[in-house]
Amino acid sequence: MLAELRVFTFLLSFCLGSHLLEIENASNFSQVSIPDLNFSASSNGEVGFLGDFDGFSFYHYVGQQNFTEIQDLSASSLNYYSEGVFIELCQASNFPNDSQINHIVPVGPDSFVLSGNGTMAGHALDKQILYNITTQQYRTLLANGISNINQIFVHGDGIYFGGDFEYSTDTSRGHSAVVWNISSETDCLLPFGGFGEGSEITSIVALDNGTLLFAGKFDTLDNPTYLKSPQAANSTNQTFYELSQQIPMQLAAWTSSDGSIQEDALRCPTGTGKTGWLVENQTTGRLNVAFPNVIYPKKIRIYNGVSDDERVSMFRLLSSPTDGIMNLTYLDPLSGSVRSCDASCPLLSSSVMQRAMSNGTDNMSRYWNSDVTLGWSSTYQEFAFVNQIPTEGLSFLALDSFGSSVSLSGVQLYASQYFVYANNTLNEIGCGDTSQQDSYSVLSSSSSWTNSESGTSYVSTDFDMSEVFPSVAFHPEIQIPGNYTIDLLTPGCLQDNSCLSRIQSNVSVYDSQNNTLLYTGLIYQNNDYDKIDTIFSGFLNSAPEVSLTAHASIQENGKSVFVAGCLLIDQIAVSSSVFDAKDICSLNGILKYDVNQRVNLGDSSIEQYATTNFENGSRFILSSYHDSLLLSAPSSGLELVNLSNSSLVTEKSLLSEGSVEDFFPFSDGVLISGSFDSNATNSSSFLYNGTLVPFESFRGELRQFSNITIDGAELFVLNNDILFNTTSQKMIENSAALSLSIFSSGSNENDDLVFFGRAMHNDFTTLNGAAFFNSENRVSSGFGADLNSKSIVYNALFVDQSRTAIAKYDKIAKTHIVEIADGDENSITVPETFSAPITCMSYNHNMSTLAIGLGSGANASQFTLYNTSSNKLVTTYTLDVEASVSSFVFLERNFSILVAGGFSISSTNCIGLCLFDMAKQEWSPFFNNSIKGMLSDMKVSNQSELIISGNFAFHNHSSINLARLSPETSHVEVLRQGLSTLNGFAFMEDEREGLFTFDNSSLAFISNNTTKSISLPDLSTDPVIEGIRVYPLLEKSTSSPAAQGLVLTGRFAHPMYGNLSAMIFDFKQWYPYFSTVTTEPVLGSKEQRLFANKDESGFHNYQYILPSTSTSNSTMPSSSNGPSAPSSGSALSKKRNKVDRGFVVLIGLALALGTIALLGILGLLFAILIQAVTNKDNNLSPRLSEGEMIDTVPPEKLMKFL
């Protein structure tokens, strides 16, 4: 069935509400008035356009082709849409060098803010453009360009820009926010300047009473005096503590397939110029390190190469074993701000580092997320891991160099979760300097210790219970007070087969400063597999001591075995006392700002909620929904906060885990994207409209979102070109009906939609190769048969008022078929499949016979006769593969059919025009084979003549393109000669008025013995003409004395109207008619044609009897050079003074037959008289032989036509 068809009524575009009319005037918008064709002679007043196409659109206005043709989706433009009309506001050529609009926000009734990168028609997009759609004028808003904008929010008299940037005015400098005042038309900072260095604004929402809520990542203001409890400026003499533990690398395995390694220098950088890893004469390389145990790294300290010729300028870190790219955060030595990177992270040259040092101290540091110390020095840069994930190893990828080689002096890793081994060798940093050794362990000296056979991860000793008990003292280094968890790992006994000898042990935890016992307990060591016991969880102000001592045997079995594995120290949180009072933040990513009361900020309930319920340094994003807020911070799930008078009333957790990445409001709710791998539905997105439900239609990573309304349907455009219909709740495939690639969009309350990208939208689609339309350009389903999407209808023949023969291409079977369809959705399939396109079909009503002809390329029958009454094939005839059939004419009274095309029949020596005897099933010559060549078309004219076109010869005359034949008189009149092959012709409505002819690229009109060339409009490329039709014009459209219009179909690239599939000529000028779109071509435009949808059998049925023999004669044009008028008068209209030779023969034959008949009658009368005399009672009973009656035609051949 057809998809929903949108009837385009142009007057709808001038409705109240949108600014469509003003935009049309400003855009030099031009509506195209097309002559109305009269299709009253066609069935249901409709004609059809058939062929291989997906989309079909009538031409209404100049520029329409920008949205109906297949476009280069990478070449985006600025566009407008309202009420079914698309208008290109700014062409793609005005966006050079990958310029892009990232935000489009409505301002007032007819303006939009355009923000992005690059330029638009010479205007810098990072300076924020205010674009008026009615006047199409631009205005630059900001004096300085800004990038990394997350949100543009219009509130009251201000346009607020929020993101990650720094902005300076003539008098001040601020971070992450700037305002453009609509009334004063000036840019300005917020009264408090901004949100501090290294801050970011992700969201801006409006509450009631002129209150705004800013969300993002910040902990102070540029002018902190606006806070109720202001923070002091940072002290330059502040001491920063190392919050994490260095990981021993002595047993790590270092490898590099493309460079040399000096392990001692690599894991123990001294800053004295030693090189730990070097790849010579190339600017890329890979260094791998595998850890003996899984670790959770917190940060990495990278010592770059000593020489600038070997220093790495760009790198990437991969985790093992997945080779996942690690997200990193670092302190920029130049700006002092915290930045992030992933696939490409920078290292600085030595000269840049020296310049940075001149502005600070030798070791600049900063706390990040309250649990990592980020810093840099003259010899290293530190990078924190954003995500704490278990890692078996790391790979350092050098992506570029400042010189010709790449090298590193050293690498160090730090973690807040680390091991302290009983085997002290594993605790050593391995650099020969015990002062660098933080954690350590001491084994009792009275025991003989053995490392485990499977490795060195634990130690054991055999002893007698009567001897001194073995023990291990663990000394984890904890310099930072805070909350910690200490776990004891006991190795399993199956790995050393000591289960029967294992014992009980005692473990005690002491405060090393005052020897206070923090924990003591017994641990059974006869566990089969490794086990973990938590022996302490709480606050530690200093490093503890953990004592593990043998206690008692479990079962008497001679020798006892005591084992010691390791401690796992996990830093849960750092005490706030570690941080200087100047760093304590009164803000944590949320600020409530009253535009009317600009002092005493930071003490509202929503700000306190963010400070007390989320980790310091959280990056918040939020969205409003009615009187509530949707709020999220990294890995904190999703919170619903209910407000009253801009104050928090209640809060509810909608998702307890996962990370929200962004909120996208739409008319009925909010689309939420993020990472929620642990939720039950494993969805990557949710929809919230009072109830949270998984957005199961889309499960990928959502990188970009636009919300638009087309034809009354609200659509999500996901990742530029994935479409979701919110009404039908279904995904939409990009197709000829609607194909979008949108990077940004915005719409106002007047339904003016402005978007940056590309769109293709056709009036009618899902037609499966059949678009039927009437004089009012209304499209409907033309065939009753089920035209499913698996086939393409490309040819048709009107059989009668209830039946149509249709030629289809089956895209699944890749074959061509013919169906006889009626108006009740029933169809009968011709019992034959074809391997090439069906070029022509003709039908004879009296014989109920359908003739089917194929083009070249067929490897089976190319000429088929089918009886529609019996549903049986009458004839299938195979020609050469390169042969083609172009047209038929039935000669009913001769039981024959005339076949035209590009082929030859060797048995009769006919070429291009041959007669087939349907009764005898054999070929015979036509016109004594005097016409030979390639025939493109053939029609009956004036009931007694044939018009043929193509490129053929007649006797000694060659290159004939058009001729009139009279089968009765055997006369040939050449109408056109000496030009390229004619592809066809079409009569005027009244055949006596003339006809049109066409070849691939030209058109002519022949009337009253005169040939006139018709000029085509100026086109961008050579035209391709596929067919012509003539229709009368409706009275209101009559614009010529002829009152007829010529429809030309094919491919026409018009410089103003774009690619057209049909044009109309009213004998004065050309008009665009309609265009088609084929997204996945199968048959090509050659198999597109206009279907008259009326009985045209008169063109293909000759009603006279052919003479048994004929000798052809001709009338030639006066000149063979170019087109010329035929000889004066028609061959049929001429009077002759002499009787032709053929008539003399016929007269003699008639006289002879008359004489014989007279003698026969006399003899019969005489015989009757004699019989009556001799036996007057006997009746006359002539016996006629049945065999004699039908011997000339076998009965089985006649039955085919019954």
- Look up the pTM and report it: 0.58
CB contact set of 495 (below 8 Å; sequence gap of 6+): 452, 453, 454
The pLDDT value recorded for residue 1104 is 86
Q: Tell me: pLDDT of 220 over 90.
A: no
Give the DSSP H or E segment for 610: helix 605-613
| Residue 233 amino acid letter | A
Residue 1127 has pLDDT above 60, yes or no: no
Q: Which residues pair with 674 in a beta bridge?
A: 660
Number of CB atoms found within 10 A of residue 625's CB: 16
The sign one gets for the Cα dihedral 37, 40, 42, 46 is positive
Alpha helices (H) in 208-310, listed in sequence order: 263-267
What single-letter amino acid sits at 1118?
S
Question: What 3-state class would DSSP assign to 1189?
Answer: helix
What distance in Å separates the CA atoms of residue 128 and residue 144, rounded to the nearest whole number? 9
The topology under which CATH files domain 245-415 is: Jelly Rolls (2.60.120)
pLDDT of 824 strictly over 70: no
393, pLDDT greater than 60: yes
Residue 359, token pair as written in the block: 């502005």
pLDDT at position 610 over 70: yes
* Sheet architecture: strand order including 516-524: 440-443, 471-475, 544-553, 503-511, 516-524
CATH 2.130.10.10 in the chain, residue ranges: 770-1114
Residue 1015, pLDDT > 70, answer yes
Tokens of 906: 């060797």
- Distance between CA atoms of residues 941 and 962, nearest Å: 13
* From 140-149, 256-265, 336-345, the region with the lowest mean pLDDT: 336-345
User: Backbone phi, then psi, for 1195, in 5-degree steps?
Assistant: -65, -35
Average pLDDT over residues 390-394: 92
Per DSSP, what are the bridge partners of residue 1?
Answer: none
- Least confident range from 377-381, 529-533, 783-787: namely 783-787
pLDDT above 70 covers a percentage of the chain that reads 82
Q: What is the pLDDT of residues 765-784, one digit of tens each?
A: 767 678 888 888 888 755 64
Residue 986: strand, helix, or coil:
strand
Residue 1162 parent element (H or E): helix 1141-1174
**pLDDT exceeds cutoff 70 at 524:** yes
pLDDT by residue (tens digit) across 659-675?
A: 888 999 998 899 998 88
What pLDDT band is residue 811 in, cutting at 50, 70 and 90? confident
Summarize the confidence of residues 750-765 as an average pLDDT.
Answer: 85
- DSSP three-state, residue 342: coil
Given a contact cutoff of 8 angstroms between Cβ atoms, the answer to whether 453 and 460 are in contact is no
Beta-carbon contacts of 1196 under 8 Å, excluding residues fewer than 6 positions away, are none
Residue 362's pLDDT is what? 43
Architecture of domain 421-578: Sandwich (2.60)
Indicate the range of 583-587, 712-716, 903-907, 1091-1095 predicted with least confidence. 583-587
Q: Report how far residue 650's alpha carbon sits from residue 609's, in angstroms, rounded to the nearest whole number.
A: 11
Q: Which residue bears the tokens 């087309």?
A: 710
Distance of alpha carbon 24 from alpha carbon 86, whole angstroms: 10
Interatomic CA distance for residues 325 and 341, integer angstroms? 10
Query: Please, is 571 exposed, middle or buried when counting C-beta atoms within 10 Å of its C-beta (0-12, 13-18, 19+)?
Result: buried
Angle subtended at Cα 197 by Cα 194 and Cα 201, rounded to the nearest 5 degrees:
55
How many whole angstroms separate alpha carbon 294 and alpha carbon 292? 7
The CA distance from 863 to 865, in Å, is 7
Instruction: Please state, in angstroms and rounded to a whole number, the distance separating the CA atoms of residues 514 and 954.
Output: 124
User: CATH 2.60.120.260 residue ranges in the chain?
Assistant: 245-415, 421-578
In the predicted model, is pLDDT for residue 788 greater than 80?
Answer: no
User: Which tokens sit at 262?
Assistant: 């000096």
When mean pLDDT is compared across 2-16, 136-150, 750-764, the lowest value belongs to: 2-16
pLDDT at 783: 60
CA distance to 817, 821, 1181, per residue, from 813 (Å): 10, 20, 63
Express each pLDDT in 911-959 by its tens digit.
Answer: 999 999 999 999 999 999 999 999 999 999 988 899 999 999 998 889 9
Name the residue with higher pLDDT: 169 or 1017: 1017
Low-confidence winner among 338-342, 949-953, 1080-1084 (lowest mean pLDDT): 1080-1084
Instruction: Work out the burial of residue 1002: count CB atoms within 10 Å of its CB; fewer than 13 is exposed, 13-18 middle, 19 or more buried.
Output: middle
898 within 8 A of 908, measured Cβ to Cβ: no
More confident residue, 434 or 46: 46
pLDDT band at 994 (very low <50, low <70, confident <90, very high): confident
Mean pLDDT of the chain: 82
Least confident interval from 263-267, 335-339, 393-397, 1104-1108: 335-339
Backbone angles phi, psi at 855, to 5 degrees: -85, -175
Query: Phi and psi (nearest 5°) for 1166?
Result: -65, -40
Amino acid 916: pLDDT? 96
CA-to-CA distance for 849 and 878, rounded, in angstroms?
19
Residues 6+ apart with CB under 8 A from 961: 949, 950, 951, 976, 977, 978, 979, 980, 981, 982, 997
User: Angle at CA 652, nearest 5°, toward 647 and 655?
Assistant: 135
CATH of 770-1114, one of 2.130.10.10, 2.60.40.10, 3.40.630.30, 3.40.50.2020: 2.130.10.10
Residue 230 reports pLDDT greater than 80: no
261 touches 214 (CB < 8 A): no
pLDDT, mean of residues 827-841: 92
Of the candidates 107, 112, 29, 109, the one whose C-alpha atom is nearest the C-alpha of residue 78 is: 112
Higher pLDDT, 290 or 193: 290
Structure token digits, residue 1069: 């000028």
Taking 70 as the threshold, does the pLDDT of residue 416 lie above it? Answer: yes
Check pLDDT > 80 for residue 828: yes
How far apart CA 505 and CA 517 sit, in angstroms, is 17
Per-residue pLDDT band for 1167 (boundaries 50, 70, 90) equals low
Instruction: Answer whether the bond into residue 321 is a cis peptide, omega within 30°.
Output: yes
Give residue-wise pLDDT tens across range 1084-1100: 656 788 999 999 999 99
What is the tally of helices (H) and strands (E) in the chain?
7, 89
856: confidence class by pLDDT, cuts 50, 70, 90: confident
Instruction: Give 19-85 as a DSSP string.
Output: -HHHHHHHTT--B---PPB--TTSGGGEEEEESS-SEEEE--BTTGGGTTS---TTS-EEEEEETTE
Is residue 202 scored above 70 in pLDDT?
A: yes
Confidence band of 982 (pLDDT split at 50, 70, 90): very high
Six token digits for residue 1083: 């048959």
62 near 1057, Cβ under 8 Å?
A: yes
Decide which of 1111 and 595 is more confident: 595
Instruction: Find the helix or strand (DSSP H, E) in which 1197 lies.
Output: helix 1195-1199
pLDDT at 500 over 60: yes
